[in-house]
Amino acid sequence: MAVEAVESRTSVPASASFGPAVALSCRECGERFPLGPSFACVGCFGPLEVAYELPVGDPESLRRRIEAGPANIWRYAPLLPVPADVADRPNLNPGFTKLVKADNLARELGVTGGLYVKDDSGNPTHSFKDRVVAIAVEAARAFGFTTLSCSSTGNLAGAVGAAAARAGLRSCVFIPHDLEAGKVVMAAVYGGELVGIEGTYDDVNRFCSELIGDPLGEGWGFVNVNLRPYYGEGSKTLAYEICEQLGWRLPDQIVVPVASGSQLTKIDKGLKELIALGLVEDRPYRIFGAQAEGCAPVSRAFKDGHEVVRPVKPDTIAKSLAIGNPADGPYVLDIARRTGGAVEDVDDERIVEAIRLLARTEGIFAETAGGVTVGVTRKLLEDGRLDPSLTTVVLNTGDGLKTLDAVAAGPTATIPPSLDAFRAAGL
């Protein structure tokens, strides 16, 4: 199908700049289309992603250029679908979060090769979603959208609300009606419209897809639907940062939470780009996906040896991962198998144990998704599928203050204000 056959109700201004991005490419058939607010191939209905002409040829110069950049994701602007002056525009400037060398946790788990936690709770709205939204906002500006929207399990709603407020755009976001209270407040406080939908995230996502095709959705940029190819590229910056923070080298093993699966697939894309650019040494790495047992369609497919991911109805405390029909599930399977990794899951009890373990050993209070990755890491080590002698990176994608209902905690003791009472308490 010819490039000209792509239809879009939104034209791309001639002045719009997408940096090194040159086209949208179908991940199934490879057909290329012009850059625009499109997310599915009109020929085979496969998902579209951004294709680039990256600055190959002088890795040392590129490395120096990156290192001289701002301490946020815009240091990687030469590798992203954004204009060169993106750092000067009003945005939340997420990224370059801490890579914590987790020696205390490593001792608990028996890891000898170096264990790191990439702690993305340090982003502006305290989750990795600020990265993907930052890229989507630039695409929305380029396409002339006036309203920023999304379907969300919570973190994305807050990230969209905050980014839209900063960019001077209207926001209207959609969430399942039963999200954690902390995430609801964070999504609502930025002054945009917040709409609860009766049903699961998958019901919310279907509704948003219908709204895009309706006149009511004219001028709306849905960051994870019609802007999804650009949105997804924000997750590559996790791969870039991890490698730069490791001294421009690949991790041997990385454990990534799986909701839609987009984050894991884009981390793999980012690692491959760094190899192709000569910024890191080309050597094997293994990627592991982590799911909650109560919503583990990709883990189940991996264990059963299937290529197709069968949808499930979510039932887990890890609501940020509660996507029963993950769009990128098949690609997660491909990457886990290609790299020699795996996709595993843990139950809610082990999620809570892992949240407490990470907090007790490293002072990091993770939300439930972080409990999933730490819990799966522990399980993989126990099963012998993670090599404890290799450098391992575990992702924490959000702040535990957003999921307080998952962990019961309180004062060790309540006493009168006297030394005798303190002695009597045995502390």
Q: What is the DSSP string of 211-225?
A: HHTSGGGTTEEETTT
Question: Hey, is 240 helix, strand or coil?
Answer: helix
CB atoms within 10 A of CB 199: 14
How do strand 392-396 and strand 115-119 relate by DSSP bridges? parallel
Pair of tokens at residue 42 = 């009109």
Distance from C-alpha of 149 to C-alpha of 224, rounded to nearest angstrom = 8
In this prediction, residue 339 carries a pLDDT of 98
Q: What phi and psi, each to the nearest 5 degrees, are found at residue 100?
A: -90, 125
Residues in the chain where the model's pLDDT stays below 70: 1-15
User: Left (φ > 0), alpha (ψ -120 to 50) or beta: where does 192 sit?
Assistant: beta
In this prediction, residue 133 carries a pLDDT of 98
Distance from C-alpha of 276 to C-alpha of 302, rounded to nearest angstrom = 28
Contact 296, 367 (CB under 8 A): no
How far does the chain reach from its first CA to its final CA, in angstroms? Answer: 73
Closest C-alpha to 427, from 409, 360, 356, 414 = 414
User: Left (φ > 0), alpha (ψ -120 to 50) or beta: where does 314 sit?
Assistant: beta
User: pTM of the full predicted structure?
Assistant: 0.93
Asked whether the CA dihedral 254, 260, 263, 264 is positive or negative, the reply is positive
Contact 191, 165 (CB under 8 A): yes
How do strand 21-26 and strand 48-52 relate by DSSP bridges? antiparallel
How do strand 147-151 and strand 220-222 relate by DSSP bridges? parallel
Question: Hey, is 194 helix, strand or coil?
Answer: strand
Q: Which residues touch 110 (CB under 8 Å, ≥6 apart)?
A: 381, 388
pLDDT tens string 349-372 = 999 999 999 999 999 999 999 999
Q: What is the DSSP string of 87-129?
A: GGSSS-------EEE-HHHHHHHT--S-EEEEEGGGSTTSBTH
